[in-house]
Copies of this chain bind each other. A is one copy, B any other.
């Protein structure tokens, strides 16, 4: 069995279950939240299930907010609060903890600029806790933040820069923000994934991340990702699948074209689509037309969530005063 390629653990489990028509052993899935904010906690428990899903052992929390693109400020604040709560559930911090927030991705490519855009909005305090400790009380933790750029811009591997900085700053926790690829257009800019496994090789919009995890940098790494692009071929394939599934459901249409759909070999079909599309569009990733505004909004949601989760005395109302 081949492993499943998607940046979202939630999608990987969905694909497995849809193909195999059964639960994956060694994966615990817990659903929470409501229609506005759906929370799915996936726990990959062993190497076998890790291999099946193409993701390391660990926790993956997905927050899905179908209406996130509607610029509903109350909803955005609620999502930040939920995000903060889920982040806190995965980390263990004390008064003296130093946190380094890393914004991965290319700031010149809007759908890949989520990380740098979040970093811009992080309440950075490490220089004050270090140089002006008297101005700082226990309401604020020592937070620093960096956007290292991408290989094509700097000529330096992102992981080299981060490792170099980690060795100097010696943080207790690294939080890496990254834009992801989803298989479903409706997840784009509406979904946030938090995991305690760090960044996996080859994930992300830029497709050439190296591993960034406790194993490689010696510090726990929380990854926060938002899908901002879909692969055009995957999207076309999934659309066809949705059409086929829809047709199969309609039982009365049991003749000709429709009947035969049931027997389609779906892996063969995806290969076919790739073969047909690639001379025309290559491996094109697409993003919604309104990506500039979506990235701006979601970067506020993620930054607000981080700010209230990392600083014990900072609440949603304070964050708003800084944002203006």
Contacts and interface: CB of A to CB of B under 8 A. Distances in A.
**For the side of the interface on A, what is the size category?**
35 or more
Nearest to A206: B289
A281 B163 contact: no
Given A163-B168, A284-B288, A293 B260 contact: no
B277 A239 contact: yes
A181 to B, nearest CB: 9
Contact of A243 (B157, B272, B281): B272
Interface string A231-243: 0110110011011
A235 B277 CA distance: 11
A321 B286 CA distance: 28
Nearest to A323: B324
Which of A154, A247, A276, A300 is most buried by chain B, counting CB atoms within 10 A of its CB? Answer: A154
Q: Taking the full assembly, how many copies of this chain does it contain?
A: 4
A28 interface: no
A198 interface: no
A256 interface: yes
Contact of A291 (B110, B164, B260): B110
Interface stretch (A39-47, A51-59, A87-95, A119-127): A119-127
Contact of A109 (B143, B184, B185, B293): B293
5 contacts: A126-B155, A126-B156, A145-B154, A232-B286, A240-B240
